[in-house]
């Protein structure tokens, strides 16, 4: 008498098309790029338009309406970013900057003083960047490590530190050239050209500086054997 055995196919604990839970890789949270950290093209626009609004309204209606136009523009951008649930850090920094600039222009009664804070800020940042190169602590790397709470092991790796040296030198050129050009225009009381120079020197120079900075970050990350943020 033959005995037949009925065998059941083994249970498959997988859901079709998906790996078992224990084999799934850890989910990674995407970190913002350098371009996104600075607000991207909207951030650059946010930093430039209040100056344009100030100059146009000031030339047509006077200093005080020009100040109100600049403040209204920066507040409108901030509200727009909040409504879209976009990062507010660049917007809030813009509000503070326009507020301080408006104070100096209102206090002196001269339109050119709307730009005086930006001029001296450029000089201050330039000096800090150069000093960081002198003491062999390039600020581009130090700032990136601080913002991302990452290791400063790159300080002990010459090629990685060289990359951050280059990025810091490019940033120093950006801020140094902005100071030289804008101070020259300020000294000649050319408020309209100050606004033009701020825009013209914002977009192209920042694009180059951020590209070099991103290159330095990727270079250091590759040498450290970890994924680029």
Q: Output the pTM of the full model.
A: 0.74
CA dihedral 220, 222, 227, 228 (to 10 degrees): 50
User: Which of these ranges, 12-21, 82-91, 110-119, has the smallest mean pLDDT?
Assistant: 12-21
Q: Quick: pLDDT tens for 133-160.
A: 999 999 999 998 888 888 888 988 899 9
> What value does the mean pLDDT take over residues 3-21?
50
Domain borders along the chain are 38-109, 110-229
If one compares 123 and 18, the residue with the highest pLDDT of the two is 123
Backbone region of residue 40 per phi and psi (left: phi > 0; alpha: psi in -120 to 50; beta: other values):
left
If one compares 18 and 51, the residue with the highest pLDDT of the two is 51
Confidence of residue 204 (pLDDT cuts 50, 70, 90): confident
Q: Quick: pLDDT tens for 66-76.
A: 999 999 998 98
pLDDT for 89 equals 75
pLDDT for 17 equals 52
From CA 229, how far away is CA 224, in angstroms rounded? 12
If one compares 14 and 156, the residue with the highest pLDDT of the two is 156
> How many CB atoms lie under 10 A from the CB of residue 179?
21
pLDDT for 126 equals 97
Confidence of residue 27 (pLDDT cuts 50, 70, 90): very low
From CA 42, how far away is CA 46, in angstroms rounded? 6
pLDDT for 38 equals 52
Mean pLDDT of the chain: 81
pLDDT for 22 equals 46
Instruction: Answer whether residue 198 shows pLDDT above 50.
Output: yes
């Amino acid at each position: 008498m033959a005995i037949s055995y009925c065998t059941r196919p083994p249970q498959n604990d997988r859901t079709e098309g998906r790996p078992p839970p224990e084999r799934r890789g850890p989910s990674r949270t995407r970190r913002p790029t350098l371009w996104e950290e600075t607000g991207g093209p909207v951030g650059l626009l946010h930093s430039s338009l209040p100056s344009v609004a100030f100059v146009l309204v000031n030339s047509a209606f006077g200093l005080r309406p020009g100040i109100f136009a600049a403040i209204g523009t920066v507040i409108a951008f901030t509200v727009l970013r909040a409504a879209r649930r976009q990062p507010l850090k660049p917007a809030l920094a813009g509000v503070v900057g326009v507020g301080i600039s408006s104070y100096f222009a209102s206090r002196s009664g001269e339109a050119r003083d709307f730009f005086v804070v930006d001029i001296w800020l450029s000089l201050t940042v330039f000096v800090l960047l150069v000093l960081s190169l002198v003491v062999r602590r390039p600020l581009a790397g130090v700032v990136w490590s601080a913002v991302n709470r990452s290791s400063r092991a790159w300080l002990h790796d010459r090629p990685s530190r060289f990359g951050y040296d280059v990025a810091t030198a490019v940033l120093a050129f950006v801020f140094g050239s902005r100071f030289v050009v804008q101070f020259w225009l300020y000294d000649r009381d050319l408020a309209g050209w100050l606004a033009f120079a701020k825009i013209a020197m914002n977009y192209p120079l920042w694009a180059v500086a951020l590209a070099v900075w991103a290159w330095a970050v990727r270079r250091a990350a590759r040498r450290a054997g970890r994924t680029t943020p």
